[in-house]
Amino acid sequence: MDRDEGRGRSSWRRIRVNSPAGQTIPVAVVGASGYVGGEILRLLLGHSGVRVVAVTARESAGRSIGDVHPNLAGVGLTLAPLAETGDAEVLFTALPNGETMHALGSLPNRPVIDASADFRLRDRATYESYYGTEHACFDRVGEFAYGLPELFRDRFADLRSIAAPGCFATATILALAPIVAAALDDTIVVNAVTGSSGSGAKPKGVAHHPFRSDSFLAYEPFRHRHVPEIKQALADATGRDVDFVFQPHSGPFSRGIFVTAVVRLARPSTPAEIRDVYEKAYSGEPFVRIVDGSPNVKWVRGTNRCDIGVACDGKTAVVTAAIDNLMKGAASQAVQAFNARFGFDERTALDLYAAAV
């Protein structure tokens, strides 16, 4: 999509389809023992343009990858201490929120694809308010592009590193960006549900799956940490500063994000008109599908896809979106951003389809 100066939109360019001829980049996965690190590694092992030269961790250093991630048994990699990244030229960091900013000074000075929240927000006070901690190296935030390729891939080459978006943020931004860019929104209420894997590999109270498996609950009204991230990205992509209510929920499943955005329209519109806004916005995007009816987290599980459904009664639009929180919401999004940043076809290692059951 070309730049639309009249609406102040970012350039949503189509993907590059030519990989760098013969290029193989040595990479390391820092924090490879968690769910996201394991998924990043799994994808990179199938990437034709990289060599995984190191996998590192704090508590699991010295253990084989197969011990920590049995699904990756036999790959012949052993977890090294956190900062021992060998001759890697690009670092994928998959540490918990708040840890990458402390680890960065001990890591080699290389481009970083970071899956944490440490470098997403450009306002220090906002970061510290929502994350409840001082930022350890805020002077380095300016080195990171916000890594949602569908909206910002044209900015990746201008910056050294990439901050991959959060899971709730990814689904919500993709659900809202077209309708906000078209200035069709009046009021917006977003309800979003996440699976238990979004809380990480270590059990945490009510986030622990045995507690969640038969429950459904809301949490953090008005103050979820992805709210400023969503607002920042929508403003950057559309030129508009929009308000919305965002209510997250904890769902009884392990993988997935499901977002329902109820948008009171600024002017009457037909279902066909609203759908056309989305079809045009994501034309040519290989990982966004506009579907009939409702998306389903089962149909995107294990993939880099975001499925979006659109309904409208003339006065209100209901936009639904589904992603895998560990994939498009974290690991595969980081790989997609890496592909875009370093000139690979964005589909490299990511042409995946969900299992039927």
User: Phi first, then psi: what are they for 287, rounded to 5°?
Assistant: -115, 5
Does the pLDDT value for residue 232 go beyond 90?
yes
Confidence at residue 317, expressed as pLDDT on a 0 to 100 scale: 98
Does the pLDDT value for residue 265 go beyond 50?
yes
What are the tens digits of pLDDT across the range 298-319?
A: 999 999 999 999 999 999 999 9
Percent residues over pLDDT 70 in the chain: 90
Confidence at residue 17, expressed as pLDDT on a 0 to 100 scale: 32
What are the tens digits of pLDDT across the range 16-34?
A: 333 455 679 999 999 999 9
Grouping H, G, I as helix, E, B as strand and the rest as coil, residue 114 is strand
One-letter amino acid for residue 148 of the chain? L
Q: Would you list the domain boundaries of the chain?
A: 25-164+330-341, 167-323
**pLDDT class for 5, splitting at 50, 70, 90?**
very low
**pLDDT class for 12, splitting at 50, 70, 90?**
very low
**Residue range 274-297: mean pLDDT, rounded:** 98
What are the tens digits of pLDDT across the range 139-191?
A: 999 999 999 999 999 999 999 999 999 999 999 999 999 999 999 999 999 99
Answer for the pair 116, 93: CB distance below 8 angstroms, yes or no. yes
Report which secondary-structure segment, H or E, holds 126.
helix 124-131
CATH hierarchy code of domain 25-164+330-341? 3.40.50.720
Q: Which residue has the tokens 């300016």?
A: 142
Confidence at residue 254, expressed as pLDDT on a 0 to 100 scale: 84
Residues recognised as catalytic: 167
Sign of the Cα pseudo-torsion (242, 3, 164, 205, in order): positive
Confidence at residue 206, expressed as pLDDT on a 0 to 100 scale: 62
DSSP 297: G
What are the tens digits of pLDDT across the range 44-94?
A: 999 999 999 999 999 999 999 999 999 999 999 999 999 999 999 999 999
Confidence at residue 1, expressed as pLDDT on a 0 to 100 scale: 32
**pLDDT class for 323, splitting at 50, 70, 90?**
very high
CATH 3.30.360.10 for domain 167-323, yes or no, is yes
